[in-house]
Amino acid sequence: MDPLSQLPPECLHAIIEKLVLAGDSTSLARLLRTSKYLSSVTLPFLYSDPYNMSFHEQYRFGFNADTSGFYLTCMLLRLPAIVDTLPDLLKTALTASSSYIHYEDDPFFDLSEDDDEDDSDMDSSERYSDDSYDEDDIDPETPSSLDYLGQIRYLHFCKWQIELERIWPENGRIRGQTSFKRYIRDNVTEQTHSSFFKTDLREHYNDLLYQQALWALANPILEQLQSFHIPIYDVSRYLTVIKRLPKLEKIRFVMWELFDYPASVGTPSSPSFAQAAAAYKQQLLRSIVDFIKEHARLFPGRLRKVDLFGEKSVLADDGFWQGTPEGCQEAIQFELYDILPPLTVCGVLKNEELEQCLAHPLLANFGQVEEVIMGPPPARWLEEAQRSQELLQRCQSLKSLHMADLPAGYFKWAVKEKRHMDEAYRINSITADNTHGRQGPQEQVSHRSTFPTKRLPPLKSITIADGSLKFTDDLQDVVFSFSGTLQRLSVLATAKEPKVSPRHMVYGRGWIHLPALTALYLDAGHDRLVVDRDLFKLCPSIKTITLTDETTQYRCQDIVSCSPALLANLDKLYLSGWPALTFHPVTLHSTPQLTDLRIAMHRLPTHRHFIPPVDEMDRSFDYLDEPSSEPAPTITRPFWSWNWHLPHLQALYCT
């Protein structure tokens, strides 16, 4: 018996779990071949989620992730429970794909019969059998005793994992004299050529193969699936078998692979095409709602998450979904949220989960949420500002917050809470000091326990992606409310187009002491980033400072330098634009730990740096070569001596 088989089951499971987390499919596959016992233990770990990309990205035999996924698909489709159910198109494509391991350069494919032998007298079995592979090629030579299908719980099968590229290169001809080529030639219709959004036959059949392969894999195991994908054009098929999905918890509707309009829609040249096409799109979207409603009726509370539009909006796509009525995406998505039960939230709360939680704000538990990521919000996000604020208040463990925008007054609740807490502590402290001398130790402990419990979350990191803040007072609210815990503050510009009248964005004015802040990132983009003179004095623990804007031209008399500050922990300093002009160089005498110093100005459109007139620079330093009868106004600017002692400096960049 091998040593691993002698381990206690708990130890063996722990080892296999580490291999799964590392995505080490090679080692897991070897365990399948070691012994029957190890196979029975390993198989559920490896095939519970067979298309887990971490398995295929680290494939160890020289193949890329797509090829690895393709081999897996071929193996599963050749299993006895599936192979006899395969339609002709899928069977011929798999057989042809198996014969092309190496890519070759072929001329473009057309539908002529010039290079094909005359096969008009063949029956269907001869007509679509591959020249180099007979029907046995699709069947397993030796049926495996391992129950691969019985282990699958998550079927995240994607279109590229059928690898049509092997036999039909993009923009190329079908390779060789294959049965697949004959099948395509014999089944091409005029409707296929006139497809409004996919005139490429290759894309048409790739989507059709994906539909057939997904159904072939899912149909035998629908009862055990907890998560899988459904192409939106095939929802009606799955709706007929929805009673076989009692364990379904998560589903993604594939919105991108749409292979054709039905014949009833007509062709783009038809006068009624636009209206008929729009109605068909609406019908597809409504079919999703019908599916979710029916599943919720049959299995209440089981289905908990629906991924409808993925990471990008399908309405922004220039293909099938172009022209869908504005607001349709949000209306469908929120209708689904109302059907689904509230999420069990833990750890990280992202945009999609956030929206679903807003549908059931009083039923969700946010006590364990440590990170909230509010991506670019749909319109309803800002409309639900009050509810989202209440949601944040309930995230008592929140440590990190990422916002795409900061609406006006969003953190007024935090300011009110902070002032209430400060006042309560002040009153309790005074009371404790007055009674300290008259109480014994036990009474003092009892008195301290009456201090209010901290109700603000221990927020350590805040990122606001909209650097062109409309209300800098709201950023001041953030700093004031979380001054005791805030370690990282980022405000990043997103607008990249130059503005006719750039604004002066003042940061630091009205801020209070930030003892825990170690990283500060401010980017104003095309606006001017103006730093309050005493900002650096408020951050004694700061280690990283990045302040940037795209200032190119300036007047010396407008420059107001910051006050010198003691920054003994500063490790990296990157200043660009106006912050570079206003930084006080004396501060660098107090930065012995500095390892990276970068001070730069953006170039003009002519790719040259702007240099003010010499006399203007002289006046800015109160220096004139010759005395003048009329005293020139002086501009107080510190002198850059460049005599700092920076023993740990490793990188220096100045322009």
User: Does residue 89 sit in the same domain as residue 181?
Assistant: yes
Residue 91, pLDDT > 50, answer yes
The verdict on residue 33 lying in a domain is: yes
Q: What is the rounded average pLDDT of the residues 317-327?
A: 54
Residue 340, pLDDT > 60, answer yes
Judged by DSSP in three states, 16 sits in helix
Q: Which helix (H) or strand (E) holds 230?
A: strand 227-231
User: Does residue 549 sit in the same domain as residue 480?
Assistant: yes
Torsion of CA 341, 342, 343, 348, to 10 degrees: 150
pLDDT of residue 401: 93
User: Does residue 239 sit in the same domain as residue 172?
Assistant: no
User: Does residue 403 sit in the same domain as residue 515?
Assistant: yes
The verdict on residue 435 lying in a domain is: no
CA distances from 231 to 114, 297, 307 (A): 36, 22, 12
Q: What is the rounded average pLDDT of the residues 298-318?
A: 68
Domain boundary among 341, 356, 381: 341
User: Does residue 250 sit in the same domain as residue 380?
Assistant: no
Lowest mean pLDDT among 124-133, 235-244, 434-443, 642-651: 124-133
pLDDT of residue 428: 77
Task: List all residues 6 or more positions away from 6 whose beta carbon is below 8 Å from its beta carbon.
Answer: none
pLDDT of residue 470: 64
User: Does residue 303 sit in the same domain as residue 375?
Assistant: no
Most confident of the following: 95-104, 311-320, 321-330, 492-501: 492-501
Residue 400, pLDDT > 80, answer yes
Each residue's pLDDT tens digit, 4-33: 777 788 888 888 888 877 777 777 777 877
CB 574 within 8 A of CB 652: no
Structural domain including 560 reads: 369-418+454-625+634-654
CA–CA separation, 74 vs 167, rounded Å?
Answer: 14
Sorting pLDDT into bands at 50, 70 and 90, what band is 384?
low
Residue 524, pLDDT > 80, answer yes
Q: What is the rounded average pLDDT of the residues 624-637?
A: 53
From the list 524, 515, 527, the residue with the least C-alpha distance to 548 is 524
Q: What is the rounded average pLDDT of the residues 213-224?
A: 96
Q: Which residue has the higher pLDDT, 60 or 358?
A: 358
User: Does residue 34 sit in the same domain as residue 92?
Assistant: no
From the list 450, 447, 421, the residue with the least C-alpha distance to 433 is 447
In this structure, which amino acid lies at residue 226? Answer: Q
The verdict on residue 445 lying in a domain is: no
What domain count does the chain have?
Answer: 4
Lowest mean pLDDT among 217-221, 263-267, 372-376: 263-267
Residue 276, pLDDT > 70, answer yes
CB 253 within 8 A of CB 232: yes
CA–CA separation, 90 vs 219, rounded Å?
Answer: 15
pLDDT of residue 366: 83
Structure tokens at 313: 């909006």
Q: What is the rounded average pLDDT of the residues 118-136?
A: 44
pLDDT of residue 312: 44
Lowest mean pLDDT among 243-257, 296-310, 450-464, 551-565: 450-464
CB 208 within 8 A of CB 282: no
Whether the pTM exceeds 0.85: the reply is no
User: Does residue 258 sit in the same domain as residue 322?
Assistant: yes
Q: Which residue has the higher pLDDT, 284 or 296?
A: 296
User: Does residue 414 sit in the same domain as residue 518?
Assistant: yes
The verdict on residue 59 lying in a domain is: no
Whole-number percent of the chain with pLDDT over 90: 27
Judged by DSSP in three states, 601 sits in coil
Q: What is the rounded average pLDDT of the residues 295-302?
A: 95
Each residue's pLDDT tens digit, 168-199: 766 666 766 567 777 777 776 544 544 444 44
User: Does residue 233 sit in the same domain as residue 208?
Assistant: no
CA–CA separation, 444 vs 435, rounded Å?
Answer: 9
Q: What is the rounded average pLDDT of the residues 194-223?
A: 78
User: Does residue 312 sit in the same domain as residue 409?
Assistant: no
The verdict on residue 58 lying in a domain is: no
Residue 586, pLDDT > 80, answer yes
Task: List all residues 6 or more positions away from 320 whose beta carbon is below 8 Å from its beta carbon.
Answer: 197, 258, 281
Sorting pLDDT into bands at 50, 70 and 90, what band is 324?
low
- β-bridge mates for residue 225, sequence order: none
pLDDT of residue 92: 83
Residue 463, pLDDT > 90, answer yes
Judged by DSSP in three states, 588 sits in helix
Lowest mean pLDDT among 6-15, 67-76, 294-303, 430-439: 430-439
Task: List all residues 6 or more positions away from 629 whose beta carbon is below 8 Å from its beta carbon.
Answer: none
pLDDT of residue 37: 82
Q: Which residue has the higher pLDDT, 269 or 623?
A: 269
CA–CA separation, 370 vs 388, rounded Å?
Answer: 16
Residue 166, pLDDT > 80, answer no
CA–CA separation, 137 vs 557, rounded Å?
Answer: 83
The verdict on residue 449 lying in a domain is: no
State the average pLDDT for the chain: 77
The verdict on residue 479 lying in a domain is: yes
pLDDT of residue 171: 63
Most confident of the following: 356-360, 381-385, 419-423, 438-442: 419-423
Q: Which residue has the higher pLDDT, 137 or 381?
A: 381
Phi first, then psi: what are they for 305, rounded to 5°?
-145, 135
Structure tokens at 316: 């922004």
CA–CA separation, 553 vs 610, rounded Å?
Answer: 6
Q: What is the rounded average pLDDT of the residues 103-126?
A: 40
The verdict on residue 411 lying in a domain is: yes
User: Does residue 42 sit in the same domain as residue 87?
Assistant: no
Residue 514, pLDDT > 80, answer yes
Q: What is the rounded average pLDDT of the residues 62-74?
A: 71
